[in-house]
Structure 1
């Protein structure tokens, strides 16, 4: 029985991820998710206390998905600079993934934009973005002093977020590739 529940939970989460990313959180109703997942509405509520809880699970899964992309890239890197650029590479990989209606930018920020200011989901997105900046800072701290590393991490984080927003508008990774090139130039003298 727990295997069936776990399977239903994952199908629900997968369906929610597709619909939330393609159509938005507010525009995606529970009926759409359960129909796409092939489960009864009660199955959704047996696995998630509310739509809000489902949104939080979706955001956590997106964060985990990005971390997986980053870790794969970072493991292949041999220097701090390469590991820092792996952050950009993971975002490029994210943009290059096949999406039902094309690439629409950062799924986390897209969802956060639809959530009320105090929603737990917005805090999950904030934690993700802070972790990305912390990863940048950790690698930069191996290349320069702590103060400069913190400043550069913030600048690179802004560069990354801005390029992600533009890539989402343009529907491809071009702006992220440009941002990676700029980041490589910025750290080349460290």
Structure 2
């Protein structure tokens, strides 16, 4: 059995606590206790809590891209490749969260950061990448000229649905958003 590094344990504990309790409400002591490591281990692996938060944001982004890659591999056609973006969000929503689904962990974290914070910029970059992915996947269906506008609609649909699903504590609204997107693709 492979031994999990202190860094990985700390990041996993931070992810659970940040998602469940929020970034600002989660202290270093709670993270180190949950990870089962000494406080010094945290500072040997992360320069500060801000550095740990940055690693959390990057990991959630990378994790979502892996979900998207897995869903894309199952896509049979261009339409399915677009809907894979929604499916990746659904997969994230259906993760086993100890205290329930609370919406997009990146948006939840960004809401806690002040304007100009690097964490907000990292979350914005993730959301912009999602929209670029949608543009690329919609272009073969709707054409390059129409793709940016439709991708923006899908991005708004997706982000609104994940926010509302988080408030409801259930991914059901994401399923509805996926259905709307599917119907929109049928008339393009």
TM-score (norm 1): 0.95
Inter-partner Cα distance in structure 1 for 2:165 and 2:142: 30
Aligned to 1:80: 78
Distance 1:70 1:170 in 2: 24
Which of these residues, 165, 168, 188, is aligned with residue 166 of structure 2? Answer: 168
In the TM superposition, 1:59-70 aligns within 5 A as 59-70=57-68
2: distance between equivalents of 1:68 and 1:170? 26
Q: The residue matched to 1:172 in structure 2 has which SS?
A: coil
Report the CA distance between 1:145 and its aligned residue: 2.2
Q: 1:9: which partner in 2? A: 7
**143-152 vs 54-63, which deviates more?**
143-152
Instruction: For 2:143 and 2:64, locate their aligned partners in 1 and report how far apart those are by CA, in whole Å.
Output: 28
In structure 2, how many angstroms separate the alpha carbons of the residues matched to 1:118 and 1:53? Answer: 16
| Structure 1 equivalent of residue 69 of structure 2 | 71
Matched residue of 1:39: which SS? coil
In structure 2, the residue matched to 1:110 is: 108
Provide the residue aligned with 2:56 in structure 1: 58
After the TM superposition, which segments of 4 or more aligned residues of structure 1 sit over 2 Å from their partners? none
Greater Cα shift, 157-166 or 90-99:
90-99
Partner of 1:31: 29
Distance 1:46 1:147 in 2: 50
Q: In the TM superposition, what is the alpha-carbon distance from 1:147 to its structure 2 partner?
A: 2.3
Alignment of 1:141 onto 2:174: no
**1:51: how far off?**
0.5
Q: Structure 1 regions of 5+ residues with no counterpart? A: none
SS in 2 for 1:97: coil
Measure how far apart 1:189 and its partner are: 2.1
Q: Take 1:156 and 1:144, find their aligned partners in 2: how far apart are those partners?
A: 13
Distance 1:127 1:79 in 2: 27
Report how far residue 116 of structure 1 moved.
1.5
Gaps of 5+ in 2: none
Shift of residue 141, structure 1, vs aligned partner:
0.7
1:100 corresponds to: 98
- How far did 1:78 drift? 1.8
Partner Cα separation in structure 1 for residue 182 and residue 134 of structure 2: 12
